[in-house]
Amino acid sequence: MRDVSIVGVGTTPVDKHWESSMRELGVRAINEALLDAGVGRDEVDSLYVGNMLSGKVVDQENVGALMADFADLGHVPATKVEAACASGGAALQAGVKGVMSGLEDLTVVLGVEKLTDVCQCEVNEGLAYAADQEFETFHGATFVSLNAMATRLYMEEFDVDHEDLLRFSVNAHRNGANNPDAMFQSEIDLETAMDSPEVADPLKLFDVTPICDGAAAVVLAPSERADEYPETPVEVSGIGNAVDSVGLHDREAFVEMAATVEAAEQAYDMAAMSPGDVDVIELHDAFTVMSAMGLEDMGFVEKGEAPAAAREGRIAVDGDLPATTMGGLKARGHPVGATGVYQAVEIVEQLRREAGANQVPGAETGIAQNIGGTGSNVTVTILERGD
Amino acid sequence: MQVTRHWREFSSHYRLEGSRCTDCETVAFPPRDVCRECGSTDTEGYELDGGGEIRSYTEVTSPPTGHEDQTPYYLAMVELDEGPIVTGQLTDTEVDGFEPAIGARVELVVRRIKEQGEDGLILYAYKFRPAL
C-alpha cells in the first residue's frame, strides 16, 4: 500500500447560500482545490462525493456523476458516499483507499450539502433519517431529542454542570470569529449560552449546530509524488471507521461512543501514534456532549473529565488540547455531508501554518472525528505535515 | 407511509413483540433475525410485558411532521424488565405527583402516534404511561 497525501484544498464559506445551488457549491470547492493543487481537470482519476441529504432536499441522487459532469472532470469514476453526518469523513477515507491501492493517482474528494432548499421541518426530518425510522423516528424522536437524552445521561453519570458543556460552544465560537469561512464569526460568552432558549430539555440553543450549506474539497496524491505540487503536502497517516447500533437505545454504553473508540484505535495503530502525539483536535461537536465524549473516547482525557478540561481552558487554541480550532460544527457550521471534508481542510490549514489568529504554534499533526447518527458510524482520520 | 409498511410492524408496534434467541435466550426489541449476543439465527417471536423504568427522557417541542397536534410531548428510553431498552413517548403524564425521572416505573399502552393528513392513515403504536 502507498502513503497518501493531501496536495490541494478548497472550500466555500459555510452559510445559508440562498443564491447558490448544490451543484454550484460543489463545483466551486472542486475548482478551488484543483487550483490550490496546481492540477488540471484532465489529470483527475476519480471523484468521491460525501453527501447525506441531496435526495431529500434537492430531489437529486447520482450526485457523483452530477458533480463530475459540472466540474468537467470527464468520464472519471465518481460515486456518492453516504454515512449520515459522517459522509464527508467516509468519502475522504474512500478516496484515500483508492490512491493507497495504486488504482488511482490523483483523486478529488468533495463534501457537499445543500440544506436550505427546503423548510426547517423537512431538514429535521432528513437529519432524523440517520436514526432508526421504525423504532425511533416513527415514535416522535427527532435527532435533537435523541441527543438530549444522551446529554442527560452523560450529565447524570458524571454530575456535570451544564456550564461546563457549553464551554465547548464558547470555545468554538471564539475560534469561528477568526475563520472567514465560518457561518458564525462572533464570540459568545458563557452567560449568553446558558441563557439561550431550551430546544429539548436539557439542550439549549447553544448546545446545538445550525442548518446551513457548504462544500469542501481536497485533492489526494501518492506521497511519493507530493513534492510535485506547489503547497506543503499533508500526509494521511491514519484512518479508522467503525459502526454501532443505529438505535441509541441499543448501545452497550451511553456515556462512551464505542464507534469512536474503535475508529480512533484503528487510526492510531495505522499512524503509529498515540493521543500525546496529536497537536490539533477537530471534534464532531454537533452537540456539546459529543465534544466531551469525543475528547474522552479518542483518549485525550479520562472518561468524565472532558468538562473539566474545557473549564480549565485546555481546549483553547493556546491550551494543550486545542479543539475545534476553526470554529467546529458549532460556529463554522455543519453542512452535514461536507463537514468531514471541512475538518480535513482546516487541519491542512493548521499544518501549513495558514490558520491566522487560530494558528496552533508548530502544529505537525491533527486528528478529525466525524460522527454519523447518534454515534452509529464514526470516522477518525489522522493527518501529519508531510515535509 | 404505505399501508403495508405500517401493517408489517403491527406485532412490534401494537404488542411489543420482539424476539428471543432459542440458543442463549437473549431477548431483543426490536426483533432481530440474528442474536446480538451469540450470533445465532435461531430466534423466535417473543412478546414483552411492557413494564420498565425510564432510562432517559426529554421534552419534544419541535416535532417531526405528523406529531404536531400532540406537541409538546415527552420522549423516553425505557429499560424493559426483560432487558431491552425501547424508545417511545410518555403519555398520561398529568397524573398527580408524576414527574418524568430516570428510574420512574412505566407501563405499556397503545395510543395514536400520528396522522397522515385528512385522508391518510391514523397510526397507532406503543407509548408508556406512569405505572398504575
Q: pLDDT by residue for chain B (132 residues), tens digit each?
A: 588 998 999 999 999 999 999 999 999 999 999 999 999 999 999 999 999 999 999 999 988 888 989 999 999 999 999 999 999 999 999 887 788 999 999 999 999 999 887 888 899 999 999 998
Q: Are residues B75 and B132 in the same domain?
A: yes
Q: Are residues A242 and A263 in contact, defined by beta-carbon separation less than 8 angstroms?
A: yes
A154-171 residue pLDDT tens: 999 999 999 999 999 999
User: Can you point out the beta strands (E) in chain A?
Assistant: 4-11, 46-50, 78-81, 107-113, 198-200, 203-204, 214-222, 234-243, 280-282, 365-372, 377-385
**Dmax of chain A from CA atoms?**
57
Closest to A13 in 3D by CA, of A211, A216, A173? A216
Q: How far apart are CA A74 and CA A256, in angstroms?
A: 45
Same structural domain, B44 and B85 = no
Whether residue B25 is found in the same domain as residue B87: no
The answer to whether residues A92 and A149 belong to one domain is no
Per-residue pLDDT, B118: 80
DSSP label of A334: -
Pick the closest to residue A254 from A228, A224, A287, A289 (CA basis): A289
pTM of the full structure? 0.97
Identify which of B59, B73, B89 has the shortest CB distance to residue A201: B59
Residues of A identified as active-site = 85, 334
Domain assignment present for B74 = yes
Residue in A179, A177, A197 with CA at minimum distance from that of residue A349: A179
The parent domain of residue A19 ranges over 4-119+212-234
In chain A, what residues touch B86 (CB-CB under 8 Å)? Answer: 135, 249
- Judge whether A108 and A218 are in contact, CB under 8 Å: yes
B72 and B91, same domain (yes or no): yes
Please give the pLDDT value at position B2: 80
Is A175 in the same domain as A255?
yes
B2 touches chain A (CB under 8 A): no
Which residue in B has a C-alpha nearest to residue A146's C-alpha? Answer: B58
Q: What are the backbone dihedrals phi and psi of residue A343, each rounded to the nearest 5 degrees, phi first?
A: -60, -45
Strand duo A234-243 + A214-222: pairing: unpaired
- pLDDT value, residue A170: 98
Q: Decide if A62 touches B, using CB distance below 8 A.
A: no
**Are B67 and B24 in a shared domain?**
no
Please tell me the distance from the alpha carbon of residue B132 to that of residue B130, in angstroms, as a whole number: 6
User: What is the rounded distance in angstroms from the CA atom of residue B85 to the CA atom of residue A250?
Assistant: 7
Residues A47 and A29 in one domain: yes
Domain count for chain A: 2
Q: Is the CB of B93 inside 8 Å of chain A's CB atoms? A: no
For chain A, say whether B72 makes contact (Cβ under 8 Å).
Answer: no
pLDDT at B1: 57
Q: Which residues pair with A377 in a beta bridge?
A: A243, A372
* Binary contact (B62, A124; C-beta < 8 A): yes
* Phi and psi torsions of A138, nearest 5°: -55, -35
Domain co-membership, B41 together with B55: no
Are B11 and B75 found together in one domain?
no
Contact A138 B125 (CB under 8 A): yes
Digitized pLDDT (tens) for each residue of chain A, 387 residues in all: 999 999 999 999 999 999 999 999 999 999 999 999 999 999 999 999 999 999 999 999 999 999 999 999 999 999 999 999 999 999 999 999 999 999 999 999 999 999 999 998 899 999 999 999 999 999 999 999 999 999 999 999 999 999 999 999 999 999 999 999 999 999 999 999 999 999 999 999 999 999 999 999 999 999 999 999 999 999 999 999 999 999 999 999 999 999 999 999 999 999 999 999 999 999 999 999 999 999 999 999 999 999 999 999 999 999 999 999 999 999 999 999 999 999 999 999 999 999 999 999 999 999 999 999 999 999 999 999 998
The residue type of A82 is: E
Range of the domain at B19: 1-48
Q: Could you report the per-residue pLDDT of A279-329, keeping only the tens digit for each?
A: 999 999 999 999 999 999 999 999 999 999 999 999 999 999 999 999 999
Q: Do residues A325 and A227 both lie within one domain?
A: no
The closest of A333, A373, A375, A338 to A129, measured between CA atoms, is A373
Q: Are residues B39 and B53 in the same domain?
A: no
Please report, for the domain that includes residue A145, its CATH number.
3.40.47.10
Tell me what pLDDT residue A142 has.
Answer: 95
**Residue B71: which CATH number?**
2.40.50.840
Task: List the single residue in A with minimal CA-CA distance to B37.
Answer: A252
What DSSP string runs through B25-60? --EESS--SS-TTT--S-EEEEE----EEEEEEEEE
CB contact under 8 A, B30 and A134: yes
* DSSP annotation of A128: G
Task: Taking each helix axis as running N to C, give the angle between helix A162-176 and helix A288-297, from 0 to 180 degrees, rounded to the nearest 10.
Answer: 90
A positions 129-188 inside 8 Å of B (CB): 132, 134-142, 144-146, 148-150, 152-153, 156
Q: A140–B67: do the CB atoms touch at under 8 Å?
A: yes
Nearest CA in chain B to A251: B85
Q: How many domains does chain B have?
A: 2
- A311-343: b (≥16 Cβ within 10 Å) or e: eeebbbbeeebbbbbbbbbbbbbbbbbbbbbbb
